[in-house]
Amino acid sequence: MEPDCLIIIGKEEDIKKSQRITAKINGREIVVFYHEGKFHALDSRCYHEGGPLCLGEIEDIDGQACIVCPWHKFKITLETGEGLYEGINPLEPSPTPKWQSKGVKQRIHKVTIDSGNVYVSPPDLSVSFDSDYFAEKYKNGGELAMGEQNHSEATE
């Protein structure tokens, strides 16, 4: 497949109504969110431990829309895939927690809207992100594949 080929995800109106949808791109599961008038696509498994982001809540953190992983509450910006954390500077006399970036951890996917359809571009795998590990672990079977792989690793 050519890197610039678009993959259809669904109808724009359907995704707007449901607010989110999961889909597979070459076996890789992604989640597409519709939030505050914009579409965002990310790997569906959290970069931290593979939690299902499709089940997470969207929160506003310092003016950025973030998906909160339902497993460990990791916060990921929808726009860039950055992991956010609240930290303090212990050198400050009265340290106040502030939101800070861990850098881009979650792979995001380019979304294109055309003729009422939502498309996603295939990922550029020449650049790696932390979420790639779990995208690969859960590829082509979701939870079932992960369970089988863990079982076979344990018996070897």
pTM of the model: 0.85
pLDDT at 26: 84
Alpha carbon separation from 98 to 58, 101, 138 (Å, rounded): 19, 10, 34
Q: How far apart are CA 114 and CA 101, in angstroms?
A: 33
pLDDT of residue 59: 98
Query: Residue 27 has what pLDDT?
Result: 86
Whole-number Å distance between alpha carbons of 79 and 31:
13
pLDDT at 4: 57
Q: Which SS3 state, helix, strand or coil, does residue 22 take? A: strand
Residue numbers in the chain where pLDDT is lower than 50: 1-3, 144-156
Looking at residue 150, its pLDDT comes to: 34
The CATH class given to the 7-88+96-137 domain equals mainly beta
> Domain locations in the chain?
7-88+96-137
Give residue 144's pLDDT: 37
